[in-house]
Amino acid sequence: MGNLRLAAIAMTILVITAACGDSDSSSIDAGEVASALDDPEHDSFPPALIDVDLVISGGPPPDGIPPIDQPNYAAIEDIDFLTDTEPVVVLDINGDVRAFPLQIMTWHEIVNDTIGDVPVTISFCPLCTSAIAFERTINGEVNTFGTSGQLFNSSLVMYDRLTETLWTHFDGRAVIGALTGTELTKRPMQTVSWASFKESFPDGIVLTRDTGFGRNYGQNPYPGYDAVGERPFLFVGEIDGQLAAKERVLAVRGEETKVLQTSLLAEVSTVTFQLDGVDVVALHTAGTSSALDTPTLADGRDVGATGVFIAAVAGEAVDLTTNNDGTFTDSVSGSNFDIFGLAIDGPLVGSQLDRVEALDTFWFAIAAFTPDAEIIDVG
C-alpha cells in the first residue's frame, strides 16, 4: 500500500506540473550572481550548509507549482467556498489579519504579499504539513520567493528571485547559493478552522480562488498522505524513531525547540512549560479538518487547531484551563481567551497574549531539521 500511495503522489506531482503551463512567471535577471537553480556547486558560492546531493527534484521545474504574486482577497461575507471545519492559515501583522485557505495554499505553496506594511512570504509545504511566514526584506532589499521544484528532507525548497539562492522552507535558511547563511525572520501563524477565524476576526480578509490559475481548489492532491505509518515521500536517510514519522506534533521554536505530541495535547487542551526560560502555554481546540486525509479537504478528519503564547498579560501570569466551547479560562483573572490568545471577556477583555512561533508539522520533519528538539511530557 505504501508504494502504491507514493506512486500516486508522484503521479499527482506530474499532473500539477503539466497543469502549470499557464504560469505567467517571467525569467529572472539575477545580474552577475550565479544561480543555485542552475549550478548549485558554483565556485562563487559560500560553502553549502547542506549536502547538495540530498536536494532532490520533486518533479516540477522552478515555479512549476506557481506561487501567488498578486493575491486577491475578499471580506468574510463574500466567501462561499469554505466549510466551517476547513483549515485556514492565519497571519496577523500590526492588526492586519488575513486567512489563507489550505485548499488554495496546497496548490501554490507560496504567497508573496505585504501585510501590515511588512513584506512577507507565506509558505505551506503539504509534504510536512507546515505553514510558515517570513519577512522577505533581505539585506535591505525586498525580495520575492518561488518554488524551486526541489525537496530537502521531504520539505519544500524555496528560491529567492533576486539571487536564485536556495532556502529551506522549514527553517527559513539560505543553504545553497550567494546568500548562504542568511536566515529569514519568522512571523507566527496558526492553522485553524474557518469557523474560528470568522468568529474571532469578523473584519479579517481572505485569500480568494481568483489566483490567475485554474486548479481543483477544495480537492486534496495528496489523499491519505498523513497516514501515521507511511514513509515520507522522497525522504533520504534514517528517520528518528522516537515517534512515528508522520505523528502530528507541535514544534515550539525559540533559541531551543520543544515538541508536543498533538494527540496528547488534544487530550488535555492546555500545557504550560518553559521555553528559553519563559513560561509559555500551548492550547488545542477541536474542529479543524486535516488537509491531507480525504480527497476533499472539507471531509478530512478532525485534527484540531493549536496556538502557543507567552503565559502572561502585562507581566502578570495567566493560568489557562479549557472550557467545553473551545475557549480557555484564566483562573487568575476569570477572563476567557480564544484559540488566538485573545481575551474575549472578563477583566482582561481585549488583551492579546504574545504569540510564540510554533509549527504544526510531522515528527520526521522537525527531527530532521532540529535533531536536538526536546519532546516534552504533556501529561
CA angle 58–120–74, rounded 5-degree value? 95
Tens digits of residue pLDDT in 134-158: 999 999 999 999 999 999 999 999 9
pTM (two decimals): 0.91
> What confidence score (pLDDT) does residue 340 get?
97
Q: What CA–CA distance (Å, rounded) separates 39 from 5?
A: 32
> What confidence score (pLDDT) does residue 1 get?
36
C-alpha cell at 68: 501567488
> What confidence score (pLDDT) does residue 239 get?
85
> What confidence score (pLDDT) does residue 240 get?
87
Tens digits of residue pLDDT in 5-19: 444 344 344 444 444
Class of domain 239-375: mainly beta
> What confidence score (pLDDT) does residue 61 get?
92
Q: Which segments in the chain show pLDDT lower than 50?
A: 1-30
Q: Distance between alpha carbon 164 and the CA centroid of its chain, in Å?
A: 22
> What confidence score (pLDDT) does residue 31 get?
56
> What confidence score (pLDDT) does residue 18 get?
40
Q: Residue 283 half-sphere exposure, CB side, CA atoms within 13 Å?
A: 30
Work out the number of other CB atoms within 10 angstroms of the CB of residue 89.
26
Q: What CA–CA distance (Å, rounded) separates 375 from 303?
A: 19
**Is the alpha carbon torsion for 226, 289, 126, 216 positive or negative?**
positive
Tens digits of residue pLDDT in 175-214: 999 999 999 999 999 999 999 999 999 999 999 999 999 9
> What confidence score (pLDDT) does residue 377 get?
87
Q: What CA–CA distance (Å, rounded) separates 89 from 85?
A: 13
* Domain layout of the chain by residue ranges: 2-206, 239-375
